[in-house]
Structure 1
Amino acid sequence: MNELVVQTAGLTKRHGSRLAVDRVDLTVRRGEVYGFLGPNGAGKTTTLRMLLGLIRPTSGTATVLGGAAGSPAVMERIGALVEGPGFMPYLSGRDNLRVLARYRELPEVVVDEALERVDLAARGGDAFRAYSLGMKQRLGVAAALLGDPELIVLDEPTNGLDPAGMASMRSLVVDLARGGQTVLLSSHLLGEVQEICHRVGVISEGRLLRESTVAELLGTPRLRVHAEPVSEALGVARRFAEDVVVEHGELLVALAPELAPALVRELVAHDVDVHSVRHGDRSLEDVFFEMTTGGAVAQKETVS
């Protein structure tokens, strides 16, 4: 999974005096699900549009599938859903996909295959204008899947989906990567990204703040220990881990979960009452908040 499918260098876009994307260096590897995260207006969609050749960068470069972003030879190998689906309202979902398939000189069988993959086969004959927001979004994803593209770019693919639809879409994205396709998606649903993405890029105010695996972003696993007296528990816990803090009267211990029993035994041996031990890992949402606001999620207190 080391071959680069997307690589940008100093990618920049200005709209007049406003800097929308600021010298972004992005890398997406073959076969991975890459999550592109950022607040509204951070520059996510603008970056995706530059990768697809829909707008030109002010400066910098973007290489996609070994060629120039937006070139016809490259676009033949990409499927994309950016800024919501656009279809002819009077045609059925199936006929809309047939038009796209004919334009790309694809066999008609790919239409029904794509509808099946997004759970729209039963409603493929309905007019697009009768579709719910979630159904329209799924049809947009189906269009992106036509022809089994090497790279699939999805801008908020679960927008408008109900919980069951979101779970289905999540499963589909994972299956695409398992089949060797590469998925680059933007999303504001951080828990979902945490669950399905191999690597993520965090963008804020046009700048790429961090690019790494989800595990690297989350850092060392933590245990949240409710034990009393706190000062005695803190002393014992620091024999197991250097990174121990007190938060809201509980210990946050940077310690692998499998070492929890040994920690509990040691606390009890020192006459510390252990009320509970549970996972205290930061979520991707916590990390995202810290990176994009520069603040900590919760106020820590130090006990000496």
Structure 2
Amino acid sequence: MDELRNDVRNEPRDDLVVRTDGLTKRYSDRLAVDGVGMTVRRGEVYGFLGPNGAGKTTTLRMVLGLVRPTAGTATVVGRPAGAADVTARVGALIEGPGFFPYLSGRDNLRALARYRRLGDEEVERVLDLVDLTGRADDRFKGYSLGMKQRLGVAAALLGSPELIVLDEPTNGLDPAGMADMRALVVSLARGGQTVLLSSHLLAEVQEICDRVGVIDQGRLLRESTVAELRGGVTLRVRAEPEDAAIAVAMRLAGDDGVRREKDGSLDLDLAADAAPELARALVAAGLDVHEISARERSLEEVFFEMTGDQHTTKEKVS
């Protein structure tokens, strides 16, 4: 998986598939999206992250031309979002798939394909991509949530669109299905298609996305590569007495470079090669040292810190 992801990142991406400038949506007195400026590059997997109600789906709907912005602009493949010549170049699954309940999965896709003047062979291709061929003749109303989600992704892939927008694509899938979906997303980007997805599963985003945008309360807080967002390797320390350990840590890492976790350990903004110096300083101060280890923050930790989520387990030392 990592090899596939790295291959995608090494490909040149000079042109932008999606660009928004000052994108804003207001519903009466509620500001749902506030001046979002995001860029999605060709051939990448872009993760769009945010808490519930942060404005993710509204932003995606404006990118697709389904919702008219109050202010700002959105362009897709160099054209205004929602333009007729753009629609055929974009595939999307937003919120939940909608199909005719009494038609089979295959017939639902055939109806969509014929509307777009695509042949039955294209239907079979996308059914195979989402591993739904064996259940394609079952009626949609009898599908499980995961099967419905697979069919929705298959519909988004019809016609090999340049941009694929997926809102929670692994919703309802079992662990094996989630792994298959991750592999599919990476393979699409490797083949030159661009994937813009939102997901609550931050470990999943960390694994497959090249860049991410974090939105909260309608505002884009940060847009960068996953590696840049997570930052470099830091040092974790557990030593006693704790107050003395904090004093030593702050002397080496600076007043703002030490964070205390709820289990009493300390995270220091120091590179891994500073571990010997740190160990000597702690021992020289007469402390009992239980642990010094290098660690890298997960995307989930960074997300909670940025959005002020209550699940974060760190507090700044003061």
Given the two structures, how large is their TM-score scaled by the length of structure 2? 0.85
1:214 aligned onto 2:226: yes
For 1:8 and 1:104, locate their aligned partners in 2 and report how far apart those are by CA, in whole Å.
27
Residue in 2 aligned with 1:86?
A: 98
1:299 aligned onto 2:300: no
1:132 aligned onto 2:147: no
Tell me the CA shift for residue 78 of structure 1.
Answer: 0.7
Tell me the CA shift for residue 263 of structure 1.
Answer: 5.3
Structure 2 stretches lacking a partner, 5+ long: 1-12
Letter in 2 for 1:298: K
Q: Residue by residue, what CA displacement relative to the aligned partner does 1:18-61 show, whole Å, maximum 9, x if unpaired?
A: 22111111111111111111121211111111111112111211
Contact 1:94 1:125 in 2 (8 A): yes
Structure 1 stretches lacking a partner, 5+ long: none
Letter in 2 for 1:151: L
1:23 aligned onto 2:40: no
Residue in 2 aligned with 1:287?
A: 302
- Counting only pairs closer than 5 Å after superposition, residues 212-251 of structure 1 correspond to structure 2 as 212-228=224-240, 243-247=257-261, 248-251=263-266
Letter in 1 for 2:160: D
Q: Residue by residue, what CA displacement relative to the aligned partner does 1:123-154 show, whole Å, maximum 9, x if unpaired?
A: 11111111000100010001111111110000
Change over 3 Å in CA distance of 1:173–1:47 after alignment to 2: same
For 1:134 and 1:27, locate their aligned partners in 2 and report how far apart those are by CA, in whole Å.
30
Q: Residue by residue, what CA displacement relative to the aligned partner does 1:88-115 show, whole Å, maximum 9, x if unpaired?
A: 1111111111111111111221111111
Letter in 2 for 1:59: A
For 1:92 and 1:166, locate their aligned partners in 2 and report how far apart those are by CA, in whole Å.
23
Contact 2:235 2:293 in 1 (8 A): yes
Residue in 1 aligned with 2:4?
A: none
Query: Could you say what secondary structure the match of 2:66 adopts?
Result: coil
Aligned CA RMSD, in angstroms, stands at 2.5
For 1:90 and 1:294, locate their aligned partners in 2 and report how far apart those are by CA, in whole Å.
42
Tell me the CA shift for residue 274 of structure 1.
Answer: 4.3
Tell me the CA shift for residue 286 of structure 1.
Answer: 2.2
For 1:244 and 1:292, locate their aligned partners in 2 and report how far apart those are by CA, in whole Å.
20
For 1:92 and 1:278, locate their aligned partners in 2 and report how far apart those are by CA, in whole Å.
55
Q: Residue by residue, what CA displacement relative to the aligned partner does 1:271-304 show, whole Å, maximum 9, x if unpaired?
A: 76543344443322222222223887422435xx
Contact 1:137 1:157 in 2 (8 A): yes
Residue in 2 aligned with 1:147?
A: 159
Query: Could you say what secondary structure the match of 1:299 adopts?
Result: strand
Residue in 1 aligned with 2:191?
A: 179
Which moves more between the two structures, 131-140 or 113-122?
Answer: 113-122
1:122 aligned onto 2:137: no
Tell me the CA shift for residue 4 of structure 1.
Answer: 0.9
Letter in 1 for 2:125: E
For 1:294 and 1:129, locate their aligned partners in 2 and report how far apart those are by CA, in whole Å.
37
Query: Could you say what secondary structure the match of 2:314 adopts?
Result: coil
For 1:184 and 1:78, locate their aligned partners in 2 and report how far apart those are by CA, in whole Å.
11
Which moves more between the two structures, 194-203 or 148-157?
Answer: 194-203
1:38 aligned onto 2:50: yes
Query: Could you say what secondary structure the match of 1:50 adopts?
Result: helix
1:161 aligned onto 2:173: yes
Q: Share of identical aligned residues, percent?
A: 66
**Alignment counterpart, residue 86 of structure 2, candidates 74, 95, 110:** 74
Letter in 2 for 1:17: D
Letter in 2 for 1:253: L
Letter in 2 for 1:292: T
Q: Residue by residue, what CA displacement relative to the aligned partner does 1:241-275 show, whole Å, maximum 9, x if unpaired?
A: 55345544433233444x37745874698576543
For 2:51 and 2:267, locate their aligned partners in 1 and report how far apart those are by CA, in whole Å.
28
Query: Could you say what secondary structure the match of 1:49 adopts?
Result: helix
Q: How many positions carry a matched residue from both structures? A: 301
For 1:265 and 1:58, locate their aligned partners in 2 and report how far apart those are by CA, in whole Å.
56
Contact 2:106 2:137 in 1 (8 A): yes
Given the two structures, how large is their TM-score scaled by the length of structure 1? 0.89
Letter in 1 for 2:317: E
Residue in 1 aligned with 2:21?
A: 9
Change over 3 Å in CA distance of 1:277–1:117 after alignment to 2: farther
Query: Could you say what secondary structure the match of 1:191 adopts?
Result: helix
Q: Residue by residue, what CA displacement relative to the aligned partner does 1:200-225 show, whole Å, maximum 9, x if unpaired?
A: 11112211121111222222322212
Residue in 1 aligned with 2:65?
A: 53
Which moves more between the two structures, 124-133 or 100-109?
Answer: 100-109
Contact 1:236 1:266 in 2 (8 A): no
